[in-house]
Structure 1
Amino acid sequence: MFQRRKARSASEQIRSVVWPDRGFGRLLSYIIQRVRRMPGSPTSIAVGAAWGVAVSFSPFIGLHLFAGLALSYLTRGNMLACLFGTFVGNPWTFPLFFYLDYALGTFLLQLFGSTISLAGVSFAEFIPLFMAEPVALTGEVLKQLIVGAVVLGCIAWFASFGVVFWAVSGWRKHRSARLAAARDRRRNPPLNANTTVDDKGVVAQRSGPDFGESDR
């Protein structure tokens, strides 16, 4: 019933994964709406989403989802929120995340006198190497990537937790206030010319004008 009239080819399906049909703005708006309306406490949702974002900085791309779900389970985070959080790591952000891991890890290891390889690679040099041989480059600078990923992952966790907790809590407070206002309007409808209130405070709506007194 809801299938496409024309099935998409394999190349179109791959392209939609790399670049959504309606753009990243529409995808981001959809994710925000889904996360805000998830069942569960704001804390559990924020914890799950934070783990999803944090593990996206790990150099072990194939383990992001499994690591995020395991950490969410251990900390009682929302699993579905973790799944949406991992969307932060995608083919467009991985090169930037990996370079940030590499740069920060290199700086920290040099600061403490540790021996490292491929120090001083710029962003313009790192990206072509990463796109050409991601596995070989990751193995060459794995120590820097792990150190940088741990630090950046912790920063991303706390930042994501705060943003998601604020967004979910604020939306639920706004929704509760809106529902309460709607209930008040139903219980206390606005008075008009055809509305009467008796001595007990009961509101009644007149069906029409009373001509009985004038006829007499």
Structure 2
Amino acid sequence: MKRLKQWLLWLWHHEASRGQKARGLAAGVFMGCFPIFGLQTLLGIALASLVRGNHILAAAGTWISNPLTYIPLYWFNYSVGCWLLGPGPALPTLQAIQQGGIWELGLAISSRLLLGSTLVGFLSAALFGGIYWWLLKRSQQGRAHT
């Protein structure tokens, strides 16, 4: 527990401006909302490079999705996609699968999941990045008054 606390404090005080830290965290959270297992961290760091954000916080931000949150997060993202595009298809029958209907189902599901992931990722990134920026600003102001 002590190591975790030290590591979190190190992340909190890592050298970068408030904006770089917040953009890095936001980039990681955004990429963490997508079901691209194994690539989230790399893509989060790449996105942080594009927005000139902190790479370490981008990597940490992708942990918004982890083995404990995969199912609820992606189910929620899919539900948001269904809300925007309309209900998803019912599970296919064996006959539909034999006739190649599985490909249509895959597109219907993936389009809803990706659209939902994009919207949830954007809103989550704005929320987490904004709160982190505000906390950093508040922390800096507190140190200035002492």
Q: TM-score, normalised by structure 1?
A: 0.55
The CA deviation string for residues 51-104 of structure 1, in whole angstroms up to 9 with x for no partner, is: 111111101122111111111001100101111212222111111110011111
2:113 partner SS: helix
1:106 — aligned with what?
82
Correspondence 1:117 to 2:94: no
The change in CA–CA distance for 1:55 and 1:149 in structure 2 (over 3 A counts) is same
2:22 aligned residue:
46
Change (3 A) 1:58 1:30: farther
Does 1 or 2 have the higher relative contact order (CA < 8 Å, sep 6+)?
2
Matching residue within 126, 138, 144 for 1:170: 138
**Which deviations, in whole Å up to 9, do the C-alpha atoms of 1:110-139 show, x marking residues without a partner?**
18xxxx4348xxxxxxxxxxxxxxxxx988
The residue that corresponds to 2:11 in the other structure is 35
Q: Where is the helix percentage greater, Structure 1 or Structure 2? A: 2
Unaligned runs of 5+ in 2: 92-104
For residues 35 and 69 of structure 2, the distance between their equivalents in structure 1, rounded to whole angstroms, comes to 12
Secondary structure of the equivalent of 1:158? helix
Residue type of the partner of 2:114?
A: I
Question: Does structure 1 retain, via aligned residues, the 8 Å contact 2:34–2:117?
Answer: yes
Structure 2 match to 1:91: 67
8 Å CA contact 2:33–2:64 kept in 1: the answer is no
Question: Between the two proteins, what is the percent identity of the paired residues?
Answer: 26
Q: Per the alignment, do residues 70 and 54 of structure 1 end up closer, same or farther by CA in structure 2, a change over 3 Å counting?
A: same
**Shift of residue 177 of structure 1?**
2.9
- Of residues 120, 126, 142, the one that matches 1:152 is 120
Alpha-carbon distance, 1:41 to partner:
0.5
Q: Which runs of 4+ in 1 moved over 6 A?
A: 137-140
CA shift for structure 1 position 30: 5.4
Provide the residue aligned with 2:101 in structure 1.
none
CA distance in 1, matches of 2:34, 2:17: 27
Q: Answer whether contact 1:138 1:145 (CA < 8 A) is retained.
A: no
RMSD of aligned Cα (Å) = 2.5
Farther off after superposition, 102-111 or 148-157: 102-111
Cα–Cα, structure 1 residues 67 and 43, in superposed 2: closer, same or farther, change >3 Å? same
Closer, same or farther: CA 97–170 of 1 in aligned 2, 3 Å: same
Matches within 5 A, 1:14-25: 22=1
Aligned 8 A contact 1:118 1:141 in 2: no
- Corresponding residue number in structure 2 for 1:130: none
Q: Determine the C-alpha separation between the residues in 2 that align with 1:31 and 1:93.
A: 22
Letter in 2 for 1:40: A
Specify the SS of the correspondent of 1:40: coil
Between the two proteins, the alignment pairs up a number of residues equal to 132
